[in-house]
Amino acid sequence: MSLRVVVPIKRVIDFALKPRVKGGAAAIETAGVKFSLNPFCEIAVEEAVRLREKGVAKTVTTVSAGNGKAADVLRNSLAMGADRAVHIETDTADATSLALEPLAVAKLLKAFVDKEGADVVVLGKQAVDDDSNQVGQMLAGLLGWSQATNASKVEVDGSRVLVTREVDGGEETLAAALPLVVTTDLRLNTPRYARLQDIMKAKKKKIEKTSPAELGVDIAPRLETVSLAEPAARQGGARVPDVAALVAKLKAAGAV
């Protein structure tokens, strides 16, 4: 079997940093902030490369939407082993795709997947900046494909794909027909570290470019962010002498 795999990826504020609200604007501060490949997307790239190494996948193509800075994560994916990288250039102010709504991203990916003639789309279940967890499901709906979300194990068995996912009661395994959209969970794999020589080779590789206009997709926003604020500071705890005092405090707070 020679599957053509497409892996959408996203550039986000590094997961180790705490995002800050931009003063006087309903937006996240991005100036002087470290960015990296979304952790769930990194897992998706790793899984796609493993499928190619097993001889299941023929090609692995990564794609990302955003301004010129999105090229950083595309080169990262090439260093990890992707065969091709495609940049959907937009005129958004940042390359995190925060300005692109999930439906717009799904429509861009649908047009791209149709153009590529892909068999499987593997993408992170969510991005750590907005935590929408919507693009994979929307994409499957637009394509009319099977979907398996929150995958913790993926096995290709002939013309079908077995996807194990964690549920409240343990695990369940889905048998999905191709073509298929798979979204990845954290337990699916541990992404490899790109070797220095692979990073240097990735810098010399060509990143293909396209645009929403070429794909025939309107990415105009349909939603408006009215306000954005950081969570209220957590109040300090207090010691109580006995259970009666604890119950009294809970009643005063309206908790019981």
List the chain pLDDT tens, one digit each, 256 residues: 689 999 999 999 888 888 788 776 677 777 788 889 999 999 999 999 999 999 999 999 999 998 888 999 999 999 999 999 999 998 765 545 557 899 999 999 999 999 999 999 999 999 988 888 999 999 999 999 999 999 999 999 888 899 999 888 889 999 999 999 999 999 999 999 999 999 999 999 999 999 999 999 999 888 887 888 888 888 888 888 999 999 998 898 888 7
| pLDDT reported for residue 1 | 63
Helix (H, G, I), strand (E, B) or coil at 197: helix
CATH number, position 131:
3.40.50.620
pLDDT score for 225: 79
Q: Strand 120-124 vs strand 3-8: parallel, antiparallel, or unpaired?
A: parallel
235 found inside a domain: no
Nearest residue to 145 (alpha-carbon basis) of 115, 174, 177, 183: 177
In a domain, 244, yes or no: no
Helices (H), 90-134: 102-116
My answer on whether omega of the bond before 179 falls inside 30° of 0, hence cis, is yes
Contacts of 249 (CB under 8 A, 6+ apart): 238, 240
Q: Give a yes or no: residue 19 inside a domain.
A: yes
Question: For residue 246, is it within any domain?
Answer: no
Single pTM value for the model: 0.86
Most distant CA pair in the chain, distance? 70
Is 245 inside a domain boundary? no
How far is Cα 61 from Cα 51, in angstroms, rounded to an integer?
Answer: 13
Q: What is the pLDDT of residue 38?
A: 94
- Tell me whether residue 243 is in a domain: no
Question: Domains in the chain: how many in total?
Answer: 1
Whether 233 is covered by a domain: the verdict is: no
Q: Please say whether the beta carbons of 13 and 129 come within 8 A.
A: yes
Inside any domain, residue 142: yes
What is the domain extent for residue 174? 3-228
